[in-house]
Amino acid sequence: MSDGPTTFIQRLTELGLEPVVEAQLIIYRIEPVDGVHAGHSVVTGVETAEVGRWPLVPPHWIHLPSTIQFAHTNSQPSPKTDWTRHSRQISRWGQDADPVVGWAGHVRSVIGAAIT
């Protein structure tokens, strides 16, 4: 595994997000603060290839179980069975002192917009 994914996994581990690699994804648990999933641990992921240039370039796709849906989304099937990847651009990348904290906040915000 290249430096980008290795560093990404190390930082997720340090944040207590329990990352594992499965089906070409780095899967981890995160707790959104808003929306229908607020206060609950949600499993999510990112493709290992997308963090190849981490932290210089942020990932674009957020992978979630297909049971999590949004009112408006651009989505495609995920490499993980019964999961969907959602297109989400992260704004102002590079302004956070810690990129993985910025990414985690972005994912929490996206999941907070889920309707199911």
Confidence class of residue 116 from pLDDT cuts 50, 70 and 90? very high
Number of other CB atoms surrounding residue 96 within 10 Å: 16
Q: Kindly state the tokens that stand for 49.
A: 């290839």
Summarised one tens digit per residue, pLDDT across range 65-110 is 999 999 999 999 999 999 999 999 888 787 778 999 999 999 999 9
pLDDT surpasses 90 at 27: yes
Return the exposure string of 6-26: e unless at least 16 CB atoms fall within 10 Å of the residue's CB, then b: ebbbebbeeeebebeeeeebb
DSSP 8-state assignment for residue 65: E
**pLDDT at position 1, please?**
58
Rounded to whole angstroms, the Cα distance separating 33 from 6 reads: 27
Q: How many CA atoms does the CB half-sphere of 72 hold within 13 Å?
A: 1
Summarised one tens digit per residue, pLDDT across range 5-23 is 999 999 999 999 999 999 8
Rounded to whole angstroms, the Cα distance separating 51 from 67 reads: 25
Residue from 38, 43, 55, 29 nearest 84 by CA: 43
**pLDDT at position 2, please?**
67
